[in-house]
Chain A
Amino acid sequence: AQSVAQPEDQVNVAEGNPLTVKCTYSVSGNPYLFWYVQYPNRGLQFLLKYITGDNLVKGSYGFEAEFNKSQTSFHLKKPSALVSDSALYFCAVRANAGNNRKLIWGLGTSLAVNP
């Protein structure tokens, strides 16, 4: 079965420190991988995606993510966290072939950046 795991419900980091939000997945074949952010009382916003090619993907607001096929991971990273990065982050995956190509969502990770 296809699945996405975000093993940490909450991540706390001090402003200016690097941050990592983890995502691992299980999908048949090669995946399309996405990160979205949700600020309080708002809809989800697309941050970045991996389709093919370079394993390091850069996205909005200084975020980046690294696709690691052997570890089936797609962790979200930022070199220097801002208080304004505090939000809920969702990882999602879709198989790029086969019959089951629905988008599978993780349960989200709440990021708190402390001043």
Chain B
Amino acid sequence: NAGVTQTPKFRVLKTGQSMTLLCAQDMNHEYMYWYRQDPGMGLRLIHYSVGEGTTAKGEVPDGYNVSRLKKQNFLLGLESAAPSQTSVYFCASSRGSANTEAFFGQGTRLTVV
């Protein structure tokens, strides 16, 4: 039972490079989320999706794009990486109800130099 799987686990990018983070869940969850975690700032929501083919902006969407072409996958793209995007990125998924808990992946540690 894999749950939520993120790839890659670590990545170093040069400023201006692009990359895509992949999140896959095998729990048939409707909702998926991308967060970033920075010291002293807790978790901040980047983008989220309430179902296949839908995406929405969170608190800090600038510089990121997402796609949810399949229900089980949620991709986070950085078109032109900046040092300010150095962070740990977490994907999560949940059922559609507001009272349900989220399941998190193990995170991707991204460094932009």
By a beta-carbon cutoff of 8 Å, the part of chain A in contact with chain B is: 32, 34, 36, 41-46, 49, 51, 90, 94, 96, 101-103, 105-108
Contacts and interface: CB of A to CB of B under 8 A. Distances in A.
A9 to B, nearest CB: 9
Given A51-B99, A101-B98, A44 B42 contact: no
Contacts of B102: 44, 46, 103
Contact of B90 (A43, A101, A102, A106): A43
A43 B42 contact: no
Interface in B74-98: 90, 92, 98
A69 B90 CA distance: 31
B41 to A, nearest CB: 7
Nearest to B42: A107
A90 B102 CA distance: 13
B24 interface: no
A46 B43 CA distance: 15
Nearest to A106: B42
Interface of B: 4, 40-43, 45, 90, 92, 98-99, 101-107
Contacts, number: 44
Contacts of B104: 36, 43-45
Contacts of B105: 43
Contacts of A101: 98
Given A43-B90, A46-B101, A102 B107 contact: no
A32 B102 CA distance: 13
B106 A34 contact: no
Given A94-B98, A101-B98, A46 B42 contact: no
Given A43-B90, A43-B107, A34 B101 contact: yes
B99 A42 contact: no
A96 B99 CA distance: 8
Contacts of B90: 43-44
Nearest to A42: B106
B42 A105 contact: yes
B101 A90 contact: no
Contacts of A102: 45
